[in-house]
Amino acid sequence: MGFALDIQKFAEKCGRNADTVVRKTVLDIGKSLVEKTPVGDAEYWAHPAPPGYVGGHARANWSHSVGTQVIKEFDAIDKTGDVSNARIAASVPQNAAGKVHFIQNSVPYIERLEDGHSRQAPNGMVELTRIEFQDFVQNASAGLQ
């Protein structure tokens, strides 16, 4: 009976640790994407900004979903990234392991930004975040017992 209970406790701990690592990794990926997304600054543009232009729409459109990619463009501005980071954090479940997570941006010009259209992000956001993936997993795993 004691050995079976020890195995059960070990399995539960492994499940909690897996959830912690996946959740933290997804949050770190989301934060990286949000922070790397440029906020339009008309001072750098060759042509004047449209009347009423305010940068931050692309940054405001990062979102997270589980199981199915959700294509939705938010009518929002988020220069700091706080709104997008909060949206992502609220959508990542505590039991995150074993699920497929999507972090997406639905603005029509996000691929142009990824391809270096902005001088603020000449190397994009997604590829740079992909390169950091292993670091995110290692950081999320650090200190687990």
Tens-place pLDDT, residues 74-117: 999 999 999 999 999 999 999 999 999 999 999 999 999 999 98
Q: Is the pTM higher than 0.85?
A: yes
Q: Which two tokens stand for residue 124?
A: 């994009």
For helices 82-91 and 2-36, what crossing angle results, to 10°?
160
**Can you give the C-alpha Rg of the chain in angstroms?**
19
Task: Quote the pLDDT of residue 6.
Answer: 46
* Cβ–Cβ under 8 Å, residues 107 and 58: yes
Q: List the Cα angle 102/40/125 in 5-degree steps.
A: 35
pLDDT above 90: residue 15: no
Cα gap 79→112, rounded to integer Å: 19
Torsion over CA: 22, 23, 27, 30 (sign)? positive
